[in-house]
């Protein structure tokens, strides 16, 4: 018999002519992945600092030129941490980035009875997962609808693609909710908080450090959002 399987693709990102990292990902939405990764990791503060971006899918190579004279990749690599993510994730200056972020003072509220419909909507739009069962999903949504969905074999990469897509479309994120199909770890909390998104929801569990980071950043963290239940770990007041 024939079966559909998800592609796993090694993708190297070069910044200003220097190799930064090689990541395993799904070979789709690669411009969004590069932009989202660079912004979520704090290598650039926004797309305005990206001068040019070029992708050679055949070679598995992405080149980007950024306007950051103070950026030292050699120094950055000394702070690199391999994450617990699938796809051998990598993050830079994790705890320092957490300390640099301002707490989220958003007044956004989300009705509790909207959480499960939004999760179901994300799952229905996760076409690659439905075909292969081998990828994670991440979604950006309002209380009323799922605005966009991205998928990848890595939960971190799905989040990077989501943020990159929103940034390239000029979509505000500070009034949105982020959904994830995977477990929530500390570096994912810093990625979400950097986009000033006040509510993060997952079908899976968070780690203890993720809860500590969410508490420190005043980010509402919801886990185990399945069926008719969920756990709300931090800033309960935003779930109404």
* Residues carrying an active site annotation: 86
How is residue 33 written in tokens? 């992945």
- What does the alpha-carbon distance between residue 132 and residue 3 come to, in Å, rounded to a whole number? 8
How is residue 97 written in tokens? 């980035």
The DSSP code sequence of the chain is --------EEEEEEETTEEEEEEEE-SSSHHHHHHHHHHHTTSSSSGGGEEEEEEETTTTEEEEEE--TT--HHHHHTTEEE-SSTTT-EEESHHHHHHHSPP------B-GGGHHHHHHHHHHH-HHHHHHS--EEEEEE-SS-EEEEEEESSHHHHHHHHHHHHHHTT---TT-EEEESS-B-HHHHHHHHHTT--EEEESSPBPHHHHHHHHHHT-EEEEEEETTEEEEEE-GGGB-
Q: What are phi and psi of 128, to 5 degrees?
A: -70, -40
């Amino acid at each position: 018999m024939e079966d559909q399987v998800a592609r796993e693709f090694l993708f190297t990102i070069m910044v200003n002519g220097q190799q930064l990292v090689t990541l395993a990902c799904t070979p789709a939405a690669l411009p969004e992945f590069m932009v989202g990764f660079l912004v979520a990791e704090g290598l650039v503060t926004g797309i305005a600092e990206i001068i040019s971006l070029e992708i050679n899918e055949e070679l598995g190579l992405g080149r980007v030129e950024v306007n950051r004279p103070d950026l030292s990749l050699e120094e950055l690599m000394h702070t690199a941490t391999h994450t617990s993510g699938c796809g051998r994730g990598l993050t830079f200056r994790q705890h320092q980035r957490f300390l640099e972020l301002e707490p989220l003072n958003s007044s956004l509220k989300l009705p509790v009875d909207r959480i499960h419909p939004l999760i179901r909507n994300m799952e229905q739009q996760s076409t690659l997962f439905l075909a292969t069962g081998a990828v994670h999903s991440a979604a950006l949504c309002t209380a009323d609808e799922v605005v966009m969905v991205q998928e990848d074999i890595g939960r971190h990469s799905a989040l990077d693609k989501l943020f990159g897509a929103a940034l390239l479309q000029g979509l505000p994120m500070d009034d949105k909710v982020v959904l994830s199909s995977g477990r929530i770890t500390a570096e994912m909390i810093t990625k979400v908080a950097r986009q000033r998104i006040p509510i993060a929801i997952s079908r899976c569990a968070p780690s203890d450090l993720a809860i500590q980071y969410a508490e420190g950043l005043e980010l509402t963290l919801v886990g185990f959002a399945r069926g008719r239940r969920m756990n709300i770990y931090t800033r309960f007041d935003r779930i109404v």
